[in-house]
């Protein structure tokens, strides 16, 4: 089962706090760092996918168009 963005982010935050504490043995720190990098990549991909979806909006004639944050829809 795929984890949610929020769950992955919470896991990442826990790992970062553990690593920042300095109370982690080297081998464990390497494993935690590797897991943190995987979680960071996963979160980044989830955000990109969400951004891609948000950048598409439904127009009045039911066509998907790119969304321009600064100027509304691109028509």
Whether residue 75 has pLDDT greater than 60:
no
14-72 residue pLDDT tens: 999 999 999 999 999 999 999 999 999 999 999 998 887 777 654 455 666 666 666 55
Strand order of the β-sheet with 64-68 is 56-58, 64-68, 72-73
Q: Which two tokens stand for residue 53?
A: 């979806």
Q: CB under 8 Å, gap of 24 or more: what pairs does 36-43 form?
A: 36/12, 39/8, 39/9, 39/11, 39/12, 39/15, 40/12, 42/3, 42/8, 43/5, 43/8, 43/9, 43/12
What pLDDT was estimated at residue 59? Answer: 46
């Amino acid at each position: 089962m795929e984890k949610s963005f929020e769950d992955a982010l919470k896991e990442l935050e826990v790992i970062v706090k553990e690593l920042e504490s300095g109370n982690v043995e080297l081998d464990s720190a390497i494993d935690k760092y590797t897991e943190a990098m995987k979680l960071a990549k996963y979160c980044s991909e989830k955000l990109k996918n969400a951004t891609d979806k948000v950048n598409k909006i439904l127009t009045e004639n039911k066509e998907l168009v790119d969304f321009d944050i600064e100027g509304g829809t691109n028509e």
